[in-house]
Structure 1
Amino acid sequence: MSEPRDSLARETDADARDDPIGYFLEDMQYHGKAKRTRDAYARVLRSFEAFLSNAGAQPVDAGRRDCLTWVHHLREQYAESTVATYASYVNRFYSYMQQVGVVDGNPMALVSQEMDEAIDTNPTRRDISVAAMREFIADITHPLERAVIVGLLKTGLRVGELCNLDLRDVNLDAPAVSSAYEVGVRGQLGSHPDTLYVDPAMSRGETVNGEQRSASNKRKRATLVPLDRELKTELVRWLAIRPDTTSPADPVFVSTQDAWGKRLTPEMVRGMVRRHAEPRGWYHKGGDAAENVTPHYFRHFFTTHLRNRTGDRGVVKYLRGDVADDIIDTYTHNWGDRVREVYLNHIYSLTTTHGGG
């Protein structure tokens, strides 16, 4: 009875090696990924395949140098942010195919890692000290705006990832919150109080937790992000006044303006940051990404200052969501006494009364 199953397995393996991209796209469909997402991956991966073919290679045989050459080719046509997005698609493709045993390794992993570090260490980017950022926060009084901006600065989340947070993703050890809301109900948060869960499996246009999302989470793996006293205080203050929402997903952050009670969007957050950055001369219309302070700048701020304080690139990369399943790391297996300890001992303070150093 085992022979038919073995034969089917051999046929499946042969199909995967003959057309690994088609195999990957089919699996994406089985996993419930939206057609828009699958089409985007198909365009990029087929273009990558054609590039390799012109060089006499195939996706299953490609090496790091092939991936690096492709990225260099993309830079002649696209902006750096687009190149990074396309590279992340290929990285995700190889990571998955390695997990299912079609390829032995991920040739894009190191290329993507080095691209991340090159972007993070841009020497032309505006340099803002922790003290100056603390003064910036002191001028923000609205509980929603404080929670959002402190949240971005102290977690390194992308703006879309922050907007996508639902109450089930936030495990707050605060009676005032737990008596009013059902928070932190995800199984992954059960033994991790005062922690955020960031789900990598969330794409723009998909319906997750009963609500269609307007932003994607671009993480390489699920991430548990600790909350220090400072950010916890801001979240508790916000949730004490958070309007009711009609969304079945119960978003953490909702609008208190024209879109009352609806989930914040990345554009709303960008406008919020711009309103506070302009009076300080930190934002100018027409300014580039290196000059203007935006939600993305906060991610750079988090990376730079926490890395300088800890000297631990691995912990920072884990918190940023840059550590993929195919990159060996010990941090997620040692969560309680490694990532959390390092973070809480070194995270900078942004208020005068709460938080770390």
Structure 2
Amino acid sequence: MSAEEAVDVEDPVGYFLEDMGYHGKHERTRAAYERVLRAFEAFLDSRGVAGPRAADRRACLAWVASLREEYAESTVATYASYCNRFYSYMTQVGAFDANPMTLVVEEMDETIDADPTRREVTVARMREFVAGIRHPLDRAVVLVLLKTGLRVGELCNLDLRDVALAHAGVREAYPDLGTRGRLDGRPDTLFVDPDVSAGEAANGEVRSASNKRKRVTLVPVDDELRRALARWLAIRPDARSEADPLFCSTSGSWGARLTPEMVRKTVETYARDAGWYRTGGGAAENVTPHYFRHFFTTHLRDRTGDRGVVKYLRGDVADDVIDTYTHNWGDRVRDVYLANVYDLL
């Protein structure tokens, strides 16, 4: 459809939902988007705004503020991401001229992991923690979380095709490793796919967790993480799933894709041993997979002084910013990351 045709869309929300169906999104996902976007339309109508196309940044800010009166912050962030994705898509197809949610979402992202009451762990102390993890699977999982800032669900969703490793012998043992087209010419890189949703099939397997990203993210792999992944792949059991997950169980669920609950339990075990986890303790006290994302954000941001690179790696930036970093991935993101990422081994 051309931009000229798209401009005349009478029901933008309906158009967007219909396209979601064409793209294979599950009915439950479309229903969730419809509920939020129709409520957004109703809010705009109550303020005399003639639909989403006419909304500006202040109208979107007012909507987010109204959500905070009723919902928890995590829910507000989810609803804002739905609206942002809607605007991004409608802008790309030419139905809207601009995305007024871009700055709103960026401002919301700036507050992530800013809680000064969180446990503070130095890089040196985290290095001691990692040294106590001997099992190749557990060490590789923890290092991915600490060195990439991936969410636990995003880690669990990685398949062999999403991982490019320039390590002798690994590619021969795993010919499907790093076969994503976007990984061509980009060794030692993780591909994080935004189009993976809980309850929907991806690469032929129904997933139990979602990747909460706005766009594809290419995350560099440094020497330490490459060696840890190669060591894990050397003992990795045959996977049960034809999707070939990167991480699969070596215990009771032998060969099954790791789940977020499995990873949380593993991290909890090591954190308890380190005195970093207490039953009943909150986010300010307990070290969890999400804490590792906080650790990544804090320490890499302090080392680089470049919030844009860190936000790109976290998957938080809006379309206009992420396009810049994607375009300059080879000479900006990767170079900045490899020059500043902390050693943990």
TM category, shorter: over 0.9
Q: 206, 222, 227: which is aligned to 2:216?
A: 222
TM-align CA RMSD: 1.6
Question: Does the alignment pair 1:322 with 2:316?
Answer: yes
Q: Which residue of 2 aligns with 1:31?
A: 23
State the Cα distance separating 1:328 from its structure 2 match: 6.5
Q: Which residue of 2 aligns with 1:19?
A: 11
Q: 185, 188, 210: which is aligned to 1:191?
A: 185
2:7 is paired with a residue whose SS is helix
2:276 & 2:334 partners in 1: Cα distance? Answer: 32
Q: Which residue of 2 aligns with 1:306?
A: 300
1:289 & 1:84 partners in 2: Cα distance? Answer: 18
Q: 44, 60, 63: which is aligned to 2:36?
A: 44
Question: Does the alignment pair 1:102 with 2:95?
Answer: yes
After TM superposition, the structure 1 stretch with the greater mean CA deviation from structure 2, 124-133 or 164-173, is 124-133
Q: Which residue of 2 aligns with 1:138?
A: 131
Contact 1:63–1:107 (Cα < 8 Å) also in 2: yes
State the Cα distance separating 1:210 from its structure 2 match: 1.2
Question: Does the alignment pair 1:293 with 2:283?
Answer: no
Contact 2:140–2:228 (Cα < 8 Å) also in 1: yes
2:31 & 2:275 partners in 1: Cα distance? Answer: 41
Q: TM-score, normalised by structure 2?
A: 0.95
Contact 2:148–2:296 (Cα < 8 Å) also in 1: yes
Q: Which residue of 1 aligns with 2:262?
A: 268
1:336 is paired with a residue whose SS is helix
Measured against aligned partners, the alpha-carbon deviations of 1:216-250 in whole angstroms (never above 9, x if no partner) come to 11111111111101001110111111111121100
Q: Which residue of 2 aligns with 1:121?
A: 114
2:321 & 2:42 partners in 1: Cα distance? Answer: 27
1:144 is paired with a residue whose SS is helix
Q: Which residue of 1 aligns with 2:53?
A: 60
1:225 is paired with a residue whose SS is strand
State the Cα distance separating 1:287 from its structure 2 match: 2.3
2:161 & 2:323 partners in 1: Cα distance? Answer: 27
1:222 & 1:130 partners in 2: Cα distance? Answer: 28
Question: Does the alignment pair 1:153 with 2:174?
Answer: no
Question: Does the alignment pair 1:208 with 2:207?
Answer: no
Provide structure 1 residue ranges, at least 5 long, that are not aligned to the other structure: 352-357
Contact 2:249–2:256 (Cα < 8 Å) also in 1: yes
1:153 is paired with a residue whose SS is helix
1:163 & 1:137 partners in 2: Cα distance? Answer: 20
State the Cα distance separating 1:186 from its structure 2 match: 1.0
2:342 & 2:179 partners in 1: Cα distance? Answer: 29
Alignment of 1:162-173 (within 5 A): 162-173=155-166
Contact 1:95–1:326 (Cα < 8 Å) also in 2: no
Percent of pairs with identical residues: 69
Q: Which residue of 1 aligns with 2:237?
A: 243
Seen in structure 2, the aligned counterparts of structure 1 residues 328 and 211 have a Cα distance that, compared at 3 Å, is closer
1:127 is paired with a residue whose SS is coil
Q: 15, 40, 65: which is aligned to 1:72?
A: 65
1:76 & 1:292 partners in 2: Cα distance? Answer: 28
1:93 & 1:49 partners in 2: Cα distance? Answer: 12
Q: Which residue of 2 aligns with 1:336?
A: 330
Contact 1:156–1:302 (Cα < 8 Å) also in 2: yes
- Give the letter aligned to residue 224 of structure 1: L
After TM superposition, the structure 1 stretch with the greater mean CA deviation from structure 2, 283-292 or 234-243, is 283-292
1:229 & 1:82 partners in 2: Cα distance? Answer: 37
2:143 & 2:223 partners in 1: Cα distance? Answer: 12
State the Cα distance separating 1:9 from its structure 2 match: 5.9
1:330 & 1:78 partners in 2: Cα distance? Answer: 33
- Give the letter aligned to residue 161 of structure 1: E
2:173 & 2:62 partners in 1: Cα distance? Answer: 54
2:285 & 2:63 partners in 1: Cα distance? Answer: 29
Q: Which residue of 1 aligns with 2:277?
A: 283
- Give the letter aligned to residue 349 of structure 1: D
